[in-house]
Amino acid sequence: MTTPHAQQASGALPHEPEKATLEGRNKVLGFWLFLGGEAVLFGTLFATFLTLRNQVADGPSASELFSLPITAAATFILLISSLTSVFAIQAMHRGNRTSLARWLGITVVLGLAFLVLEIYEFTEYIVHDDYGMTTSAFSSAFYTLVGFHGAHVLFGILWISILIGQLFKKGLTVVTAPKVYVSAMYWHFIDVVWVFIFTVVYLLGKVVG
């Protein structure tokens, strides 16, 4: 088992190192199953949000609360970070570890920027508008859905940061490549969920709030 790994690590890396071993291929396949499960998880949160979105009690409604510029900025940041993670995988396919680590680093920084915006937004609502988790059924559903997505972004940032460290420590091998590939899939999925959040929560909130 160690021979192929050692051989790959010494520079003879196959074109798609994430699919070079059965273990790597299984990791990718298994991660797709996980993402299917994640889709169900977010689906239930969206279902809860959609049923409760008009139950605003004494608090403001969606169209009074949300600010489009912040949501637009967050959307573009996350979209750009999705592209940089594509570039990271392309660098990995060229076997360029430095470029791979650099693109992953940029992805992490963009993820942090997104998170800062979200924390700023939530702080505004809570401190400025006195609009917390327990204000109304709408606010509970909103914070749970959007906050859960934010927690996914935070997890992705930590995960990819650790992988960058591992790339420098262990190099780009058929063992580390599937981990990087799977983390990029996760990052794209975060953007997929965000597309539904900015459409269903923010934009539709403005239109039919």
Q: What is the distance between the alpha carbons of residues 82 and 80, in angstroms, rounded to a whole number?
A: 5
- Candidate segments 39-47, 107-115, 126-134, 146-154, binder of another protein by CB under 8 A: 39-47
Place of tokens 């650790």: 162
Instruction: Give which of 21, 104, 161 is closest to 29, Cα–Cα.
Output: 21
User: Which listed residue (57, 151, 158, 195) binds another protein by CB under 8 A?
Assistant: 195
User: Which listed residue (9, 112, 154, 192) binds another protein by CB under 8 A?
Assistant: 192
Total of chain residues touching another protein, rule CB under 8 A = 57
Strands (E), the chain: none
**CB distance 66 to 124 below 8 Å:** no
- Candidate segments 111-119, 152-160, 163-171, 193-201, binder of another protein by CB under 8 A: 193-201
**Within positions 47 to 66, which residues make up the interface with another protein, using CB under 8 A?**
47-48, 50-51
Residue type, 35: L
Instruction: Give which of 97, 71, 104 is closest to 205, Cα–Cα.
Output: 71
Q: Is 6 in the site for another protein (CB under 8 A)?
A: no
What is the SS3 assignment for 198?
Answer: helix
Cα 143 off chain centre by: 17
Nearer to another protein, 87 or 159 (CB): 87
Q: Which residues bind another protein (CB under 8 A)?
A: 1, 3-4, 7, 12-16, 20-22, 29, 32-33, 35-40, 42-44, 46-48, 50-51, 68, 72, 75-76, 79-80, 82-83, 86-87, 90, 93-94, 185, 188-189, 191-192, 195-196, 198-200, 203-204, 206-208
